[in-house]
Amino acid sequence: MHSLTLPTPLVSVAWLADHLHHPDLLVLDAHMAPPGSAESGPVRQIPGARRFDFDGEIKDAANPLPHMMPNPAQFERQVRALGVNNDSLIVVYDRLGIFSAARGWWMFRAMGHTQVAVLDGGLPAWQAAGHAVAAPSPYAGATGDFVAAHRPELFCDADAVQRVLTDGSRPVLDARGAERFAGQAAEPRPGVRAGHMPGAVNLPFADLLENGRMKPVAELQAQFAARLAPEAKPVFSCGSGVTACILALGAELAGWQGLTVYDGSWSEWGADLARPVVRDPA
């Protein structure tokens, strides 16, 4: 087999179908249902995919916030159990198009793995192209040799966000919808205030998508250029650190560097009465 590399952080269904059986390629199902949603019907996966459950398993279980990033030792142990190797080429997808897959992509990036990409359009695009799906089955193969090379700067905490908002050193982009950002719609998680951080800028993650796929790079560049200087090193927030990673994916595709995701995001900030919250007039 010839050596293979991922062309960009976003790969097409056609690319994946062409390389699905390459021995170094590993497909991960990083699906998470949106908060408050109910899912029905049988679960189907891309054949051979392995379940990367960051919402239920590959997370910091001691943290009361949802699906927070685990420490490097835990991450390493759990992805080795999925057969992930240092030389694995990883394609991450979800069952909604692009919703939670980018979180899986960013988690691997934060652990030093560069050969990882998101499947554009996810499972719906895979099925729409006529490719087969299969019922999930637990991975029972060899343990991988993945070694985490932690990059702590890819995630940050609430204190770091408050510092950059106060000193203006880095812009903060919030991926939630406009009504939630403005404080005109209730938060889906109990005990979380409505509104946004003072000084944050709204860029709803849905604005980067079209029919479950990322918009063309030129359109992504226009979206970010309207909010960021070319040299800006943005921090991304959202409801709980999932769709903020869609902004990170879009910004990387559009050419921005020095990107950071606020892991606790609004589920932490909005519930902490010591943190300032503003609401826009209706």
**Residues involved in catalysis:** 238
Please return the burial class of 55, using the count of CB atoms within 10 Å of its CB with bins 0-12, 13-18 and 19+: middle
Sign of the Cα torsion 122, 14, 47, 3 reads negative
Structure tokens at 251: 């910004």
- Which amino acid, one-letter code, is at 17? A
| Residue pair 228/256 in contact by the 8 Å Cβ criterion | yes
Pull the structure tokens for residue 112: 């030093």
> For residues 249, 58, 122 and 232, what is the CA-based torsion angle, rounded to 10 degrees?
-10
Question: Please, are residues 141 and 68 in contact by the beta-carbon 8 Å criterion?
Answer: no
Sign of CA pseudo-dihedral 39, 44, 46, 50: positive
Max Cα-Cα span within the chain: 60
CB atoms within 10 A of CB 94: 26
DSSP annotation of 268: H
218: left (phi over 0), alpha (psi -120 to 50) or beta: alpha
Token pair listed for 247: 């902004």
Please answer whether residues 171 and 237 qualify as being in contact, where contact means their C-beta atoms are separated by less than 8 angstroms.
Answer: no
